[in-house]
Structure 1
Amino acid sequence: MFDLIYHFPEQLEESLALTNQALKERKDFLDKINDIEKIVVVGMGGSGIAGDIVFSLTYSFLKSPILVIKDYYLPFFCNKKTLYFVISYSGETEETIFNYQQLKRNKLPLIVITAGGKLKVLAEKNQDLLFILPQNYPPRQALAYLTIPILLTLSRLAIIPNCQQEIEKTILYLKRMRKRLNERAKRITKLIENKIPYIIVDSYSYLPIAYRWKNQFNENTKILAFYSYLPEQNHNEINALPFLELLKDTLFVFLLKNPFSHKRNLIRINFLSKLLKENKVTHKIIPPISKNNFFNVFSLILFGDFISYHWALKRNIDPLKIELIENLKKFLAKF
């Protein structure tokens, strides 16, 4: 697992090459797409989160709204003016295949991202735009391969500016930063012990980062986790904080800062830090790693992955195994 996390920059690099090749080979597909009003990403778990991360990366310049669907049914507004990304790393995710079949009944052109399975067979049969990913990754650690095809496709369709160079610069930045991020993660893990993490980000655009951290703590560290964002947290959950003294030995709060957050949210996060300190709740403010949004988003992903890994080791848990998820799939297969 450590090697998969550590080599995230190389995975981004390989994904860039694979994606550009696939787009070159299927230029005919992209030439037929026009008049896009909205973007829908269909995918579950470690696959679907690619759409969420793209939201964080493109929040300030995305020309069309993006919605990530993580369910069996699609919203009513899905139509021919919607650009669809259907993502399942394994190619066997039942919810995603169900969505694919719904869309194909309406004869809609689809962009499919997968490493194989039934979804790959269907996409090849229907001549969809298909991005075939390297195999033998846990889906949650294939994020680089799942995210880049969305970004470059949106770039080619002029829905976002060309981000090729930004991704290339991000890769170099992550290669320089990863050792430092790994060491920081080790130090933080010493503070956490067996507490429950509560991740708060200081902007809506970074909510997917908190969600990614939560999911990695769930799957790698095998621990419950919670997440929220400012300013929304200040309109509900904050009211429960005075009672956190009851949980001071149970909870560890991460306060993640976005370099582009509204200045009022910076005041809010300082207020929360003061409140947590008064109630003796262990917490850590994570300042922006970079003022470049691509650098910061991908660095926070890498940082959170490192924390989840070292925390799993500290708890004597194998971060790779996801036995309950596998058991659930076997159970569902009976029906």
Structure 2
Amino acid sequence: MGNEYQIYKNLILREIDFNYILPLCCMDFLEQIRNLKDQFRTGSKFTLPDEFKNVVISGMGGSGIAGRIFQELYHGKPTVVNEGYEIPEWVDASTLFIAISYSGNTEETISATTMAHSAGANIVKISSGGKLSKLPGLQVTVPGGVQPRSALGYLLSPLLNSFGMLSPVRDRVYRLIGSIDEDSSFLKSIASEIASNQLIPLILALPGFTSTGIRWKTQFNENAKLMAFSLNFPELDHNDIMAFEKSYMRERFFPIVIGDTTNEQINKRVRITSKLTGLRFSAVRPRGESLLEKVLYTIHCGDYLSYYTSLLRKLDPEDVGIIEKLKSELAT
């Protein structure tokens, strides 16, 4: 891709003893991260309707990201991700409506599912229980006990299994994700650069990795308690490039390209964007054969990167106290 990149591959910027700064709560969360490969071994699935014309996936936060990832990978029928209390007016009996809420108590998802039922949609619900599991529709119950963002495999696997997308690559996915569990030293290096220099992650996703970029962003938000931004090529060259060149405090951003592409015009755009703006782009390149493998590998890299950044900031990656306070006040 050119000399504009600093590609992190077995590169250690500085030696840090992460075990020294690892409190017990963080060790528990690390086990949740390491559990991802086993989650994709689950055979959970649901039976597709005989006929449907479109797919709507309703979900929020760490549950909803499963829908975004699926939407980017699946091209069989028009698919929309629904984030909110309402549903599109065109939802009807020809819609496969998939509601995802790990807790089963997400109020936006419950509201949308209730409306979808009234519209006559074919409803599938994926949750560990909660109020959602009691609503009309086909229920897929997944194991509970972890943070929703740590249950990505449980929530995404039923979608991939039901549409026949996971079985051909399941073993390779397990090995790829496991390879990061065995050696994530290059991600510690990136975390060190971000935390030590108090930088803001600026995630630049290549085509096919837009949902992965969003996952990285939200993992930085929740795990590392950092603002982060996710942009994607080629769209960013039509607007954000101006800010890359002239924004104040631009030196505080850490631009990092994720994904890969065989589209040489996209690769050319990345090189020229870096050159014209004077920003040096770092990069994390995926491993794997299929796009699904590459996406899941890159997602797991982001999980570790945000986790290590939280440790360096001396923060509990599992803490979502303010989100829970918000939910509590909304319920009163």
Same fold (TM over 0.5): yes
| Mapped contact 1:85–1:150 kept (Cα < 8 A) | no
Q: 1:77 aligns with which of 74, 82, 90?
A: 90
Describe how 1:169-318 pairs up with structure 2 within 5 A.
Answer: 169-180=172-183, 182-193=184-195, 194-203=198-207, 205-244=208-247, 246-260=248-262, 262-276=263-277, 278=278, 281=279, 283-318=281-316
Name whichever of 206-215 and 98-107 sits farther off: 98-107
Rate the CA distance shift 1:234–1:251 in 2: closer, same or farther, 3 A.
Answer: same
Q: Distance in 2 between matches of 1:75 and 1:179?
A: 44
| Mapped contact 1:289–1:299 kept (Cα < 8 A) | yes
Give the % identical residues: 30
Q: Distance in 1 between matches of 2:63 and 2:259?
A: 25
Q: Distance in 2 between matches of 1:314 and 1:78?
A: 46
Q: 2:110 aligns with which of 70, 89, 97?
A: 97
Residues 61-96 of structure 1: CA deviation (Å, up to 9, x unaligned):
x21011110011111121111111011111111001
- Root mean square deviation, CA, Å: 1.7
Name whichever of 291-300 and 41-50 sits farther off: 291-300
Q: Distance in 2 between matches of 1:291 and 1:152?
A: 19
Post-superposition shift, 1:192?
A: 1.1
Q: How many residues in Structure 1 have an aligned counterpart in Structure 2?
A: 302
SS of the equivalent of 2:100 reads strand
Task: State the partner residue of 1:158.
Answer: none
State the structure with bigger RCO (CA 8 A, min sep 6), 1 or 2.
2
Q: Distance in 2 between matches of 1:271 and 1:6?
A: 37
Task: State the partner residue of 2:326.
Answer: 328
Post-superposition shift, 1:140?
A: 0.6
Task: State the partner residue of 2:34.
Answer: 6
Post-superposition shift, 1:271?
A: 1.6
Residue 132 (structure 1) aligned with residue 141 (structure 2): yes
Which one-letter code corresponds to 2:267 in the other structure?
L
Residues 31-86 of structure 1: CA deviation (Å, up to 9, x unaligned):
xx22321111001111111011112333xxx2101111001111112111111101
| Mapped contact 2:32–2:150 kept (Cα < 8 A) | yes
SS of the equivalent of 2:50 reads coil
Post-superposition shift, 1:171?
A: 1.4
| Mapped contact 1:39–1:83 kept (Cα < 8 A) | yes
Q: Distance in 1 between matches of 2:241 and 2:163?
A: 37
Residues 111-160 of structure 1: CA deviation (Å, up to 9, x unaligned):
100001111122xxx3x2211111111001100000011112223xxxxx
Post-superposition shift, 1:248?
A: 4.2
Structure 1 residue runs of 4+, over 4 Å off?
Answer: none
Question: Higher helix fraction: Structure 1 or Structure 2?
Answer: 1
Q: 2:133 aligns with which of 90, 110, 120?
A: 120
Q: Distance in 1 between matches of 2:330 and 2:285?
A: 43
Post-superposition shift, 1:8?
A: 1.1
Task: State the partner residue of 1:51.
Answer: 67
Q: Distance in 1 between matches of 2:203 and 2:186?
A: 17
| Mapped contact 2:34–2:181 kept (Cα < 8 A) | yes
| Mapped contact 1:115–1:132 kept (Cα < 8 A) | yes
Q: Distance in 2 between matches of 1:311 and 1:154?
A: 35
Q: Distance in 2 between matches of 1:275 and 1:248?
A: 14
SS of the equivalent of 1:197 reads strand
Describe how 1:15-26 pairs up with structure 2 within 5 A.
Answer: 16-17=42-43, 19-20=44-45, 23=46
Structure 1 runs not aligned, ≥5 long: 156-161
| Mapped contact 1:113–1:130 kept (Cα < 8 A) | yes
Which one-letter code corresponds to 2:202 in the other structure?
Y
Post-superposition shift, 1:272?
A: 2.4
| Mapped contact 1:248–1:282 kept (Cα < 8 A) | no
Residues 216-237 of structure 1: CA deviation (Å, up to 9, x unaligned):
0000000111111111111111
